[in-house]
Amino acid sequence: MVQLVEEVPQDLRYHAGYRYHASGSAGHRKHFERNARRFLETELTGSDPFIVEIGCNDGVMLSTVAQAGVRHLGVEPSANVAELARAKGVRVLSEFFDERTAAAVRSEHGEADVIFGANTICHIAHIDSVFRGIDALLAPNGVFVFEEPYLGTIIERTAFDQIYDEHVFYFSVTSVQAMARHFGFELVNAEHIPLHGGEIRYTLARAGARTPAPAVDALLAEERARRLSETETFEHFGQTVKRVRDDLVALLHRIQSDGQRVIGYGAPGKSSTVTNYCGIGPDLVPFVCDSTPSKQGHLVPGSHLPVKPPEAFSAPYPDYALLFAWNHAEEIMAKEQGFREAGGRWILYVPEVHIV
């Protein structure tokens, strides 16, 4: 299991001022609506089905379930985003999910047919307590489904900016299978999904309850062939990360000495890793634009790049835009066509530094 060795306490990360709003991207809204419909058509077809989402955020997934009139509960500790979900008709419990919360949910609502988490399970350091909670809450034939950034993609694409305080775990099919077994569950499916630059959706069931899909063995074999559990893979990754850093910093200096301007685009958690690790401050990139209102007027942690609204991008357009939110490239580039038309170029650093 690849994981952080230092933990930022969860109440410093998730609170009433949590800045990530899942509904901020059209691509995410579409993805999670599709997820909800899939659950409604497959797992939630009994007489009174019940789905629990761990980390429902602003209700991007559960709002579709609520509209369908199906019993559901979001467990969401960040009060501000929980409130946004409630405004969409979603039922939310403002707590951290753990075995204690799970037992309370079970006694009030009964067992769950589906327990879902997206970009949340890898954030929770007390994973043992989460699994004991799943054990307490999940119906005998229920499924625990979670979607998280994939270690294989992080290594393959040198997406080192996925590594930051919120991401405690960097799951692989191998590590998730071992973790599931440890807690009496079985990994019964693993599917690649394109979100956040490359994730896997894991489906777990109680041991022996469901037949594993062939994809599980296929992905395990692929991970063995790619030596995803071997030290040298990570040593090589480390060397590639350093090369990307050097290339990026050299490019930014070259652009600056040519008298041209670079503005950052997007202030995701990832931008904090890149700017701090590479030593990119406001001297090289004077500000970043981000569409999330609660991020605007603040600074990227550590590197202190000011965050401004997207309108600042075109006033006037820079020569280059450094795309920190590269996982939303298609959506952002389509939205900012005027920048290209004005002669602007995008700088990306995944899988290597390049200009498009």
Binding site for ligand TMP (CB under 6 A): 24-25, 196, 266-268, 290-292, 295, 325, 327-328, 331-332, 335
The interface region with ligand SAM, picked from 12-20, 150-158, 179-187, 225-233 by CB under 6 A, is: 12-20
* 317 three-class SS: coil
Residue 74 parent element (H or E)? strand 71-75
**Residue 237, interface with ligand SAM (CB under 6 A)?**
no
Residue 30: which residues within 8 A CB-CB, separation 6 or more?
none
**Residue 148, interface with ligand SAM (CB under 6 A)?**
no
CA distance 69 to 61: 14
**Residue 291, interface with ligand SAM (CB under 6 A)?**
no
Partner touching 277 among ligand SAM, ligand TMP, none, CB below 5 to 8 Å by kind: none
The residue among 28 and 245 lying less far from ligand TMP, judged by its C-beta, is 28
CA distance 227 to 212: 23
**Residue 347, interface with ligand SAM (CB under 6 A)?**
no
Long-range CB contacts for residues 94-97, cutoff 8 Å, separation at least 24: 96/10, 96/14, 96/124, 97/54, 97/55, 97/124, 97/130, 97/133
Structure tokens at 65: 């379930």
CA distance 6 to 115: 28
Partner touching 266 among ligand SAM, ligand TMP, none, CB below 5 to 8 Å by kind: ligand TMP
The residue among 196 and 206 lying less far from ligand TMP, judged by its C-beta, is 196
- Cis? peptide before 306, omega within 30° of 0: no
Query: Whole-number minimum distance, CB 81 to ligand SAM, in Å?
Result: 5
**Residue 170, interface with ligand SAM (CB under 6 A)?**
no
* 327 three-class SS: helix
Partner touching 308 among ligand TMP, ligand SAM, none, CB below 5 to 8 Å by kind: none
**Residue 124, interface with ligand SAM (CB under 6 A)?**
yes
Residue 243: which residues within 8 A CB-CB, separation 6 or more?
352
Among 36, 44, 51, 55, binds ligand SAM (CB under 6 A): 55
The residue among 56 and 112 lying less far from ligand TMP, judged by its C-beta, is 56
Query: Whole-number minimum distance, CB 171 to ligand SAM, in Å?
Result: 14
**Residue 44, interface with ligand SAM (CB under 6 A)?**
no
